[in-house]
Amino acid sequence: MLAEAERRSSAALMRVNHAGELAAQALYHGQALAARSAATRRMLLAAARSESDHLAWCEIRLRELGARPSLLKPLWYAGSFVIGAVAALMGDDTSLGFVAETERQVEGHLDEHLARLPPGDTRSRAILKTMRADEIAHGAAATAAGGTPLPGPVRVLMRRTARIMTATAYWV
């Protein structure tokens, strides 16, 4: 049983993860819409299905913690969908590179959350560890499929955008 402060902390972190999974699903849907090859489209849609599982796990955990998802869900989805479509318009290699970079950054984000979770929250910890393994696999698959590394300024912009989203979703 978590103390009230621990429950609130876990709930806020899981709200951020829920928003992130919603955004990832939207990115992949946007990328799949504009993908040039059928193979890339299939890969992106498979990744989106995996993100749907993660989204469901986070949503269930939020309910278990007596919390709600971010109130900005439509914004997270719409904005991420557009970003994904724009990435795909630059070509499949760039789009797959975007997947690889996204998943690399998500891995770091999940590592931070695993370190911040209250020690007694073994349920959230198990969910995040499983999600982390899946995200690493998505990134590796995108690189193996021909994803090219993104320029440094794009990676920085992605990190800053994610920081804004996570800070907002923590509270809203």
Segments making up each domain of the chain, as ranges: 4-171
Report whether CATH 2.20.25.10 matches the domain 4-171.
no
Cα R_g (the chain), whole angstroms: 16
How far apart are the C-alpha atoms of 117 and 154, rounded to whole Å? 30
Per-residue pLDDT tens for 124-136? 999 999 999 999 9
CB atoms inside a 10 Å sphere around CB 151: 11
Distance from C-alpha of 153 to C-alpha of 170, rounded to nearest angstrom: 26
pLDDT digits 0-9 by tens, 17-74: 999 999 999 999 999 999 999 999 999 999 999 889 999 999 999 999 999 999 999 9
Report the pLDDT value the prediction gives residue 1, as an integer from 0 to 100.
85
- Please check whether residue 17 is in contact with residue 128, taking contact to mean a CB–CB distance below 8 angstroms: yes
Among residues 101, 110, 113, 112, the alpha carbon closest in space to that of 139 is found at 101
Give the position of tokens 């021909």. Answer: 146
| Residue among 79, 76, 59 at smallest CA distance from 68 | 59
Place 152 in a pLDDT band, splitting at 50, 70 and 90.
very high
Q: Which residue has the tokens 């599982």?
A: 53
Task: Please state, as a whole number, how many other Cβ atoms lie within 10 Å of the Cβ of residue 162.
Answer: 17
